Amino acid sequence: MSTRLSLCFALAVCIAAAAEFPPPATDIPATGAKQKATAVLAGGCFWGVEAVFERLKGVSDVVSGYAGGSRITAEYEVVSSGVTGHAESVKITFDPSQVSYGRLLQVYFAIAHDPTTLNRQGPDSGTQYRSAIFYATDDQKRVAEAYIDQLNKSKVFPRTIVTQVVPLKGFYDAEDYHQHYIDHHPNDPYVVYNDLPKIKHLQQQFPDLLKPHR
C-alpha cells in the first residue's frame, strides 16, 4: 500500500464530502409498510463500503462479495487478478420505509467512494475496484441513471461520473474473513488511511441517517 496515495484518497473523500450533495430528485416511493429490499453496489475495496452502509438506519444487513462475474471464479485470489469480470461489491438489505434506495445512492456517491475514477479507488487499481451499480429492478435502474444525470448536471464533482449501471446477474458472498473487516481490524493501516475517514464524514454529513450507538 502506498501511504501517499492513501492520504491523497482520504483528502479526495474529504473534499467530496464537503460538497453539497442534493438528495435524488427521482426515487422509489415507500409503501409505508415494513418490508425488505436489496441493493448491490461496488465502489472499490468492499471493507469500507460495507462499514459505511451497515451504520445506516433501516439497513439490517450488509454482505461483502463479488458481482459481475461467474460463481466459478468468485474467490478473492482469483478476483484480485482483475480478469474475472467481478467487482468487489456489497449487498445491502434495507427497509425502504426507513431509508429509500435513492438515499442509499446519495450516501454511495457522497461518502462511500469516488465515482469519477475509472477502475481505481485510492491505492487500489483494476476492474475489480470499479464503480458500479448492479440493479435488480427497472425502478433501481431508473433511479440510478436519473441520479447520475442529476449529479453530473449539478457539477457536484469536478469530473464526470464513470459509475456503471448494469443488471445484477449474481452476487456471491466473499470469504468470512472479509465480512465486517473494519470492526475486527480497526487499526489495520489500510483501514486507518482509507476507510475510517469515510465513517467520520458519514457521521458529519448524514447524522440523521445513522443508527444510534454505532
* The residue to which cell 483501514 is assigned: 191
For the domain 3-209, what is the CATH superfamily, name and number? Peptide methionine sulphoxide reductase MsrA (3.30.1060.10)
According to DSSP, the residues that pair with 89 across neighbouring strands are: 42, 65
Confidence of residue 42 (pLDDT cuts 50, 70, 90): very high
pLDDT digits (tens, 9 = 90+) for 44-97: 999 999 999 999 999 999 999 999 999 999 999 999 999 999 999 999 999 999
Q: Where in the chain are the domains?
A: 3-209
Give yes or no for residue 13 having a pLDDT over 70.
Answer: no
Q: Tell me the C-alpha distance between 102 and 35, whole Å.
A: 16
Question: Catalytic: which of 10, 13, 40, 45?
Answer: 45
Q: Is 45 noted as a catalytic residue in this protein? A: yes
pLDDT in tens, 85-133: 999 999 999 999 999 999 999 999 999 999 999 999 999 999 999 999 9
Closest-CA residue to 36 (of 88, 78, 94, 77): 94
Please compute, for residue 20, the number of CA atoms within 13 A of its CA located in the half-sphere on the CB side: 4
Q: Where are the alpha helices (DSSP H) in 155-195?
A: 181-184, 189-190
pTM of the model: 0.91
Packing angle of the helix pair 46-53, 196-205 (nearest 10 deg): 30
Please report the beta strands in 77-214, taking only residues with DSSP state E, as ranges in sequence order.
87-94, 120-121, 124-125, 131-135, 164-167, 171-173
